[in-house]
Amino acid sequence: KDIIDVQLTVLALEPLVPIHTAVTAIGYTWREDITADHRPPGDNSPDSEWQKWYFAPPPNQRATHLHVRAEGKANQRYPLLFRDYLRAHPHSAVAYAALKYRLAEYHGRTADHTPYVIIKDPVCDIIISAAEDWATAVNWQPAPPDV
């Protein structure tokens, strides 16, 4: 997909108003129907570990998914570990990219995202499982926030 995922890390998801005001001021739209991330199989953490806010991009702008997640939560760590694992394992990154390109070929022809998600999520579950093992082996820790 020609979409950029952006993670905005905040200290806490509450209160919503200051973040909502800042993000909608630059044209993003809050999607109240998207309140949590996909949870890997076997994860038994509290639901609050996967809570997020999602904002859709402004019209006529390159497609971006803005995910607002709380610092230190499982879903804030997940994309950082996923990214760093793929950077450290280029063959896995190439295979994942191939899958995404093939899915994008189909995804571009339909507005129904369900097939895309039901195929992509289990692949991500496999990758994050390997990434967790790698993180333990190399004592990986997320880098500090940019700001």
Residue 107 has pLDDT above 90, yes or no: no
**Is it true that domain 4-138 has CATH number 3.30.470.10?**
no
Tell me the pTM: 0.90
Residue 2 has pLDDT above 80, yes or no: no
Task: Give me the long-range contacts of 16-21 (CB less than 8 A, separation at least 24).
Answer: 16/53, 19/53, 19/68, 20/53
φ/ψ region of 42 (left if φ > 0, alpha if ψ in -120 to 50, else beta) reads left
Amino acid 31: pLDDT: 95
Amino acid 50: pLDDT: 98
Q: Region 89-96: what's the mean pLDDT?
A: 98
φ, ψ of residue 131 to 5 degrees: the values are -65, -40
Both tokens assigned to 30: 């809050």
CB 40 within 8 A of CB 128: yes
CB 127 within 8 A of CB 84: no
